[in-house]
Structure 1
Amino acid sequence: MELRVTATTLEVLHGGKRVAAHPLNARRGAHTTTPEHMPASHRAHLQWTPAKLIAWAERIGAATAAVVRWQMEHRAHPEQGYRSCLGLMRLGRQYGGDRLEAACARAQSIRSPHYKSIASILRSGLDQRPLAAPVAVQATLPLHENVRGPGYYH
């Protein structure tokens, strides 16, 4: 295999014959991808956009939409969240929208809006249990002469 690089093109040669050619991006560090040279799984992602994924999630419910938005916002590039979002779609087909919505709500309540967490919640059936109300914890200060309490700082 041999590569031929010009100012505008990268060519791949095999046995002296060109088997592929890619245009080079003029921006430093940028890349170009020819869809027909992508793996089939990556090509399938081309039809999706963040807006389409969020619109799908909103039809399921507010918690699912929040998880999908989180996936898009917490990645260097929104496309990196597509696999997780497509996985959520698969979970929705497998378990139903109501269960997916409940699992996303639970995942948010434990601050873990990740695909793996949501899949685990669904597998274990935790989505079908009520969310526990947050317990108010009343902190009591130990009695000691060095503990000043909040009144000291006013």
Structure 2
Amino acid sequence: MKDQLHISEQVCFPVYVFAKEIINQYRPLLTELELTYPQYLVMMVLWEYKEQTVNQLGEKLKLDSGTLTPLLKRMEQKDLVCRTRSTIDERLVHISLTLKGEALKEKASCIPAQLMESMNVSLEDLTNLKNIITKILKQ
């Protein structure tokens, strides 16, 4: 009988190591864009949706406002995003891209292919992995 407390029997450990590895693979690609991985995630949401409130960003990225607020302040200082307080409800802060932030999308467009190449894995394998992870997270 296998000991379920052996690290080699755990699902969580290779997932943890993989998460660290994938972020490490992103690092040199994002350094060229002067972005951290969390900033890159924010940019991807804004490239897709154009404008979001801090709460909407937090929901999409699974980040709380305590984590997002300093991140967004740094991105605003880099002139990538603009933070605007709602005139209707002052508790809401809208985040939108600046022209510089919009222009960065073109430079970032090659990152997914570069990441896949650096990981030496097929699109089919990555798609299968993503589907399995998504299925588990939705339970």
TM class by shorter-chain length? under 0.3
Greater share of helix: 2
Normalized against structure 2, the TM-score is what?
Answer: 0.28
Normalized against structure 1, the TM-score is what?
Answer: 0.26
Which entry has the higher C-alpha Rg, 1 or 2?
1
